[in-house]
Structure formats: structure tokens, C-alpha cells
Amino acid sequence: MSTETSKPLIGFTCGDLNGIGIELIIKSLCDNRILEICTPVVFASNKSINFYRKSLPDLNFSYQSTRDFSRISHKQINVYSCWEDEVAIAAGTLNEIGGKYARLSLQHAVNALKQGHIQGLVTAPLHKKNIQSPDFNFTGHTPYLQHEFGLNDVVMLMTASNIRVALVTEHVPVKDIAAHITKAAILSKLNILNESLKRDFGIDKPKIAVLGLNPHAGDEGLVGNEEQTIIKPAIKEAKDRGMLTFGPYSADAFFARGQYQLFDAVLAMYHDQGLIPFKSLAIGEGVNFTAGMPVVRTSPDHGTAFDIAGKGKADASSFLCAIFECVDIINQRSGFDENHSNPLRKMSNMLMANAQDEAIEETSEE
């Protein structure tokens, strides 16, 4: 197999058509390193790409357009045409058009992912409200992907070079969070997170910190008892299953004292508890990764940024990190799966190789 065709095909959704998604794609894919590590396939339309390309005249963004995966070029950027409509793009405006075509892009990309036409997916930001429709009733990418792949559970894992934070609950109203914190939910997330750290990040014995739900981790039941009745029993059972889990920790002190640096990942109970410190510590390089899926999906750690859309001001750092992370995880998984596919065969090969080495040594001595 040639180097070109062995590169993974990475799909890109355009996100909200009126947001910064396509601008991020253009800026990121102009980085010469990208074509060296993967073959990009952008799910959008020529006209939408050209609309934003005009606002970035200093960038040399060239591509080929196709509707046939057998005609993908591994030497350049590919735009898979998802629609031919004349679309009135209104950069920076929240409207139904932006949501409609974000949905089309995502649906085409996920179908390609399910059929094996692409090996990974990087999703640009969408607006959770205006993407809603009769066939899309989800609070974001993560639950949609979970549904499409028929999975019982997945984990939203935010990752950067200095910190990883996973969530038990994602986009849940604050008043409803406690009802979603159950022993079964925590154990499910811990199991997925533990396996992902091994397979996707190459950590043999991952150490996971678990945060409490209440202030000061409940103060021994003084300000809430979920730590005593739910979280501690879940941590104990996870340990009994062989996982290196610790806690529950008081969230404020845990991050303020830098304790997150002692662990391979942190499991937070709810969205803001985990994402506020994550985004404060992973400036410009945060990536959202959906752990527990048979395929690899990443995204930047920010939203649609309507206030700067179409102005050429969007910072592509996080999006670029999402691309590199997607490719790295695909390669890491491939190596992990190969090393664990048939350990008996590998042991036999090692013994045979050792015997051959000994024979060579004996021959050289003679």
C-alpha cells in the first residue's frame, strides 16, 4: 500500500453555515502538514466554500469537488458536495438556513463514517437550537452520534496536552443534574474512560480522579450526601473491577492546587464543573473527543462565534488541534488493536525470533 492511500480519510462537517466553521476549515487545511498525515474530505458545497474563501484572500485554498468516494484525491483537499441549492449565507446571523445545512453536512458525514468511506470525523461548531428538526432532536453532536451508532453510552472527553476532563452529564439543566448522578451512570462513564485512555491514548494503567457533586465534596454529608451514597460506592466498585480511581475530590481545591496534574483524566459530574477549569487551562488547544465509539470524532472546544463570523478573525488553533488529535487517535487505536489482536501468536513469534537469534549466535561462535 502506498503512503498516499494509507493515510486516513478525515471528514469535516461545516457546522452552522453562518458561523465560523468553514473559515476554520479553510485556515486549518491550508496548513501544509495536514495533507502529509491525512486526506481531508469536507462535507459542504462548492458555493459555501467559495463564499468564505473570498474573505480570506491571503490563503491559497484549492480543492477538488466530488460526489464519488472512489474518486477521492489523496494529494489535495476534497469537497464532497452535499447540496446544490442556492443558499443565502448570512455570516454572523442565527437563522434556520444555518441550522438546516449544518444538519445536512453532519448527516452526510456520519453516513460516510458508518459506511467506512472515511476513518475519522472533525466536526465544526453548530448551534444546538437552530439545528433542531423532526429528524434531529438532540442536544448536540455527542448524543446524536451515540444514537446513530446504536450505543448505550459514550463519554464527552475534553483533552489537551496538560489536562483531560470527562463528564458524567453533558447538556443537562442545573436543576436536573443531581437526578442524573447515579452509581450506574458513574460506573459506565468510568469504564468507557478507562478503556479509552488505554486504547486511544496509550496509557497502560490510567489514573482517574473523580470529582464530588456538592461544594467541598459534600463536607461528609453536611451539604449533600451524593458523595457518601452514590459517588464513593461507584469509585469503590470501579477499584474492585481493577480501575485506578480516586476521590471524590472537592472541585475548587482540586483544580486550584493543581491536583489534576497527578492524574491521566478527571471525571466531572456536570458540564460547567469540568469545562470551566478545562477551558481556562487548555487555552487554544482544547479538543472535544467522543470516547466509547467505534470511530473517531473530535471537534474544537468552542462554539459558532457568530460575533466574528465572516470577518476572517477566527482562531483556528483548537480546530487544528482537533485534526491532529483525530489522526493521532486513529493511529494509536491501530497500533493498540494490532498489539492486542492475538497475544499468543505474538508470543510464539517472539519465541521463534529468540530461537533464531540464539541459532545465529551459535553459528557465529562456530
- pLDDT, residue 354, reads 60
| 119, three cell numbers | 476513518
CA distances from 223 to 66, 181, 217, 249, 255 (A): 59, 16, 8, 14, 20
Mean pLDDT of the 73-101 span: 94
- The rounded distance, in Å, linking the Cα atoms of 107 and 226 is 39
What does the pLDDT read at residue 72? 96
- Amino acid sitting at position 84: E
Distance CA 366, CA 363 (A): 5
Q: Is the pLDDT of residue 356 over 70?
A: no
Q: What residues does each domain of the chain span?
A: 1-151+293-366, 153-292
SS3 206: coil
Domains 1-151+293-366 and 153-292 share a fold: yes
Q: Where is average pLDDT lowest: 195-209, 254-268, 351-365?
A: 351-365
CATH match for 1-151+293-366 among 1.20.140.10, 3.40.718.10, 3.10.129.10, 1.10.3720.10: 3.40.718.10
Closest CA to 12 of 55, 85, 61: 61
Of the candidates 255, 363, 319, the one whose C-alpha atom is nearest the C-alpha of residue 31 is 319
3-state secondary structure of 169: coil
C-alpha closest to that of 81 among 71, 69, 67, 70: 67
pLDDT (average), residues 293-319: 95
CATH 3.40.630.40 matches 153-292: no
Exposure string over 156-189, b if 16+ CB within 10 A, otherwise e: bbbbbeebbbbbbbbebeeeebbeebebebbbbb
More confident of the two residues 139 and 52? 52
Please state whether 211 falls in left (phi above 0), alpha (psi between -120 and 50) or beta.
Answer: beta
% of the chain beyond a pLDDT of 90: 84
Q: Give the residue, 246 or 362, on which the prediction is more confident.
A: 246
Q: For residue 95, what pLDDT is reported?
A: 94
